[in-house]
């Protein structure tokens, strides 16, 4: 069991009513992981949903044997491993502790059972996941469009398409 005050330190949980946090607290575990601990592995089933209390976790993808691309650094108060909430999902990234980390974990299976029993909890969690997904897609779309616009050959074509869509 995890302390409710620790759960309130997680951004996605800060607006959730206390009676729902109590439900999560009963199923959650608090663990400490050392630097370089791999929590999620590419192409492996994502078992747990993680909520970072303290430390930093790198979300990365190996593109060659010698090169890793850092997709994101997860900071205290944030969560990751939402694929654990989708049965049978496999990771497209690795998650590695960059320093000693204090992390609250709940197995994906337990979270799914909690959602089935308590739709209000599912609503709050999935609303946050949806908002994060939208921010992610907006950011990625802006990056792609910037890259395309910076390509002088495509710049004119893109501009013409945007103008025709506005009219």
Q: Given this model, what pLDDT does residue 39 score?
A: 98
Place of tokens 């108060």: 77
Q: Given this model, what pLDDT does residue 155 score?
A: 62
Q: Given this model, what pLDDT does residue 43 score?
A: 94
Choose the CATH number for 4-166 among 2.60.120.10, 1.10.3720.10, 3.90.550.10, 1.10.1040.10.
2.60.120.10
Q: Given this model, what pLDDT does residue 8 score?
A: 95
Q: Given this model, what pLDDT does residue 87 score?
A: 86
Q: Hey, where are the domains in the chain?
A: 4-166
Regions of the chain with pLDDT less than 50 = none
Q: Which helix (H) or strand (E) holds 135?
A: helix 119-150
Q: Given this model, what pLDDT does residue 65 score?
A: 84
Q: Which two tokens stand for residue 157?
A: 């074509």
pTM: 0.81
Q: How far is CA 73 from CA 130, 133, 165, in A?
A: 20, 16, 36
What string of DSSP letters covers 138-157? HHHHHHHHHHHHHSHHHHHH
Q: Who contacts 75 (Cβ-Cβ below 8 Å, separation ≥6)?
A: 52, 56
Q: Given this model, what pLDDT does residue 68 score?
A: 87
Q: How far is CA 150 from CA 145, 156, 161, 163, 165, in A?
A: 8, 10, 15, 17, 20
| CA–CA separation, 62 and 83 (whole Å) | 19
Closest C-alpha to 103, from 12, 7, 14, 19: 7
Q: Who contacts 98 (Cβ-Cβ below 8 Å, separation ≥6)?
A: 35, 55, 56, 57, 58, 73
Q: Who contacts 83 (Cβ-Cβ below 8 Å, separation ≥6)?
A: 46, 89, 90, 91, 108
Q: Given this model, what pLDDT does residue 145 score?
A: 77
């Amino acid at each position: 069991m995890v302390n409710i005050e620790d759960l309130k330190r997680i951004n996605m949980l800060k607006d959730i009513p206390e009676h729902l946090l109590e439900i999560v607290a009963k199923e959650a575990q608090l663990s400490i992981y050392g630097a370089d601990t791999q929590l999620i592995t590419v192409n492996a089933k994502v078992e747990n949903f993680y909520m970072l209390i303290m430390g930093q976790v790198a979300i990365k993808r190996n593109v060659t044997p010698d090169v890793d691309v850092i997709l994101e650094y997860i900071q205290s108060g944030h969560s990751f491993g939402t694929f654990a909430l989708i049965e049978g999902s496999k990771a497209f990234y690795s998650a590695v502790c960059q320093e000693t980390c204090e992390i609250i974990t709940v197995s994906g299976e337990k979270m799914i059972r909690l959602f089935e029993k308590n739709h209000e909890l599912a609503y709050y969690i999935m609303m946050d996941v949806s908002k994060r997904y939208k921010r992610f897609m907006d950011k990625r779309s802006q990056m792609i469009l910037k890259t395309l616009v910076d390509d002088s050959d495509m710049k004119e074509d893109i501009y013409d398409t945007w103008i025709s869509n506005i009219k």
